[in-house]
Every structure is written in C-alpha cells, then in structure tokens.
Amino acid sequence: MAIARPIQIRFERYTGETGIAPAKPPRVVTPQERPALVERAERLLRERDAVLVAHYYVHPDLQDLAQATGGTVSDSLEMARFGHEHPAKTVVVAGVRFMGETAKILNPEKRVLMPDLAAECSLDLATPAEEFSRFCDAHPDRVVVVYANTSAAVKARADWMVTSSIAEKIVGWLHGQGRKVLWAPDKHLGDYVQRVTGADMLMWNASCVVHDEFKAIQLEELKALHPGAKVLVHPESPRAVIELADAVGSTTGIIQAAERLGAKEYIVATDGGIIHQMRKRLPGVTFIEAPTAGKGATCQSCAHCPWMAMNGLHNLIETLEGAPGHEVLVDPEVGRRAKVPIERMLDFAAEHLPTFRGSGDA
Ligand code: 13P
Ligand code: SF4
C-alpha cells in the first residue's frame, strides 16, 4: 500500500508572517484496484442513503463517482445548495473542511462526513475567529462580508457569507444600499470585487496558496506561445494575472466561460483539477495550466490544492464504512449564528441569479 508522507505547506498569516500547515496525500489508487473500489463506494453510498457532493478540484475518481451516483461536482455555492436540498440522510463532502462545515450548518439534522477532516484551506487558517472578531468590533459601521472559505466561528460573526460566484453581486448590492463593507479573508478576491463594484471595502489580509502562485510575466510568455488561447482566471489570483484574463469567474463560471467563448485552446489559472470536467464537456479542446511561481519540485502547490488532494477513494470508503473521525461537527450555537449569513446568501442567489439552480454539473 502506497502512503505518501505529509507535506508542509507555507501560507500567509493575516499578520503577514508565514505559517506552516501539513497536508497528507491520500493512499494512491492503482489502475488494477480502481474498478473494485469504485463499485464498493457506489454500493456504500446506496446502502447508507448518502450523497456525494464534490468540488471540481478533487481527484477525477471522486468527481466521476459523484456524477455517476446522483451527487454533484460543483463550485462552493452549488455544493451548499445541493447538499441542503438533497433528501439523503447523509451528505459526504469531498472538498475542504469549510465546505463540510457549511453543509453541517445548513443541515444540522443530517450526518455530514468527509474523507479527511484535516483538509484545510489557507484562507480559513489565516482567519482566526477571535482576532477577526476584534477587527469587526473595531469597525462597527461596516457590514461584515466573509468568503465561504472560513470557519463556522468566523461565519457566526458575519452579516453575509459569499462565494466567488456571487461576491460581486452581493457587495455591489450592499454598495447600492450605501453600506460600507468589512471584507475577509481573500485579499485578491476582495481587491477584484472592490474594483468591479466601487464599494468602500476594508480588507483582511489572507491569500490562497494555490492562486497566489500564478504569475503574470510567465502567463504573458505562455500567451505569446499560444496566441489563439483564451485565458480563464479565478478571482483569488493576483491583480496582474486577472488583468490578463479573457474571463474571470468562480470554478463554475470558468467552465461556463470555456463553453461560451468557443476557443480551441484555453489557459486556465485555477486548480488543475477543474480541467477534468472541462475535457469531459469540451472534448477536442486543449486546456493548459497557467504557470506558477516555481516549477516541479520548486513550486509549492503547482496549481493543485494540497488539501483538496487529501480526498481519495480509499478514505472515502473508510468514511462510508463508519470509521471514526470522519463526521463534521459544529457547535450548535455557533452553527445557529453561522446559518444566518449563509441563508442570506442562498436567498439572495435564488432571487438574483437566474441560473442558480442549474449552476453545478447539471
Ligand atoms: P469556488 O467557489 O469558485 O469553487 O472556489 C472555491 C475555492 O476554494 C477556490 O479556491
Ligand atoms: Fe483554499 Fe486555495 Fe485550496 Fe481553494 S484552492 S481550498 S482557496 S487553499
């Protein structure tokens, strides 16, 4: 059995210092064992009345399994909606912890499981609840808008939760109401939303270890080598990278842009896991990963989230077989308060996003 050693990931703390957090790659699945593992996982999902809700960045095995078993592969907004509205008693979230917590907050009566509860997110790590709460206390005149990539305790302190697919619309709407915004945690997404909406936004300091690594100069060089390619960028990327984009959007937004723009080649500045879905939807089209700060052994994420990568078939099966330590638990009082900003976002989405229901893998 091949078990890789944990890797140590450097991330930026809100103070600007460097933090370190481990990420443990899952057991490798060999081509010989894959069919039997997939069959076992499919059977367990049925027997346990469980639905698999996966993010585009997780391994293709889990994306395909979710789609084949009536679950979903989608962005964070659709993951939250889908898990909430699906009738299954158990929701299995293949993603990172904040996604499991969001599912639990919305569905306290359901069992929410994850293949690995230690799947972090650098944005969540960089936003400790107590310090964040003090920051909010110091600015009582601002409406607190937090990105989904935060802990339950941080959401409990917020007025609104947003994901990348709806941040611009909600902040634009708040701005239209004359409200000033306190934004956390992603500084690049905040900067992008600020520029698009013109809102008065006070920013927390944090970044995504994957998107922060995309580099504009190297991207320009790559564009020169592929003059016909369109550039698709997730707004967690630095401003200089966003400025080179033909389309900027959430993960679902990026896939929809590729379908809409009709190019033969795309350069994709987000986690490379998304390319699996893009190839399935647009066969014959070429997708190229955007360049990161380093190459091979010298890059930190290499455009793949080390925490999303912790989800695999082996630990999914363990989870479904009832191994301890896979259930997402949220303090009920914290959950009750955190539900308010999440539901506010879902209600806003239902009212203002015409495609909301179909924005996942439908
Ligand atoms: P999306 O909501 O666009 O899927 O983003 C989630 C995320 O963590 C991106 O890094
Ligand atoms: Fe967090 Fe970045 Fe991983 Fe998304 S890709 S979960 S923002 S660390």
Checking if the pLDDT of 104 tops 50, the result is yes
Ligand 2 centre to CA of 32 (Å) is 31
HSE toward the beta carbon, residue 194, CA cutoff 13 A: 17
In 7-134, the DSSP E strands lie at: 7-12, 18-23, 50-55, 72-74, 90-94, 111-113
Ligand 2 centre to CA of 187 (Å) is 13
- With 0-12 / 13-18 / 19 or more C-beta atoms within 10 angstroms meaning exposed / middle / buried, residue 357 is middle
- Helix (H), strand (E) at residue 201: strand 201-203
Whether 24 and 3 have beta carbons less than 8 Å apart is answered as no
| Residue 186, CA distances (Å) to 126, 190, 232, 234, 320 in order | 9, 6, 19, 12, 33
- Assess whether the C-beta atom of 207 lies below 6 angstroms from ligand 2: no
Task: Judge if the upstream peptide bond of residue 35 is cis by omega within 30 degrees of 0.
Answer: no
- Assess whether the C-beta atom of 149 lies below 6 angstroms from ligand 2: yes
CA 283, CA 327: separation in Å to the nearest integer? 37
| Range name among 21-35, 70-84, 289-303 with the lowest pLDDT average | 289-303
* DSSP-derived secondary structure for 212-264: GGB-HHHHHHHHHH-TT-EEEE-TTS-HHHHTT-SEE--HHHHHHHHHHH--S
For residue 297, name the pLDDT band (cuts at 50, 70, 90): low
Residue-wise pLDDT tens digits, 155-170: 999 999 999 999 999 9
Ligand 1 centre to CA of 33 (Å) is 30
SS3 146: strand
Query: What was the pLDDT predicted at 359?
Result: 37
Checking if the pLDDT of 94 tops 60, the result is yes
Closest alpha carbon to 84 in 333, 274, 342, 266: 342
For residue 360, name the pLDDT band (cuts at 50, 70, 90): very low
Structural domains in the chain, sorted by start: 7-123+308-330 (3.40.50.10800), 211-298 (3.40.50.10800)
For residue 220, name the pLDDT band (cuts at 50, 70, 90): very high
Checking if the pLDDT of 310 tops 50, the result is yes
Checking if the pLDDT of 358 tops 50, the result is no
- With 0-12 / 13-18 / 19 or more C-beta atoms within 10 angstroms meaning exposed / middle / buried, residue 228 is exposed
Query: What was the pLDDT predicted at 357?
Result: 54
Mean pLDDT of 63-70: 98
Q: Look at 304 and 77; give whichever has higher pLDDT.
A: 304
For residue 5, name the pLDDT band (cuts at 50, 70, 90): confident
CA 154, CA 255: separation in Å to the nearest integer? 30
Checking if the pLDDT of 2 tops 60, the result is no
Checking if the pLDDT of 25 tops 80, the result is yes
Predicted TM-score (pTM) of this structure: 0.95
For residue 353, name the pLDDT band (cuts at 50, 70, 90): confident
Ligand 2 centre to CA of 149 (Å) is 8
Kindly report the average pLDDT of the chain as a whole number. Answer: 94
Query: How is residue 92 written in tokens?
Result: 């299995």
- Assess whether the C-beta atom of 271 lies below 6 angstroms from ligand 2: yes
Whether 241 and 214 have beta carbons less than 8 Å apart is answered as yes
The structure tokens 């959950």 sit at: 335
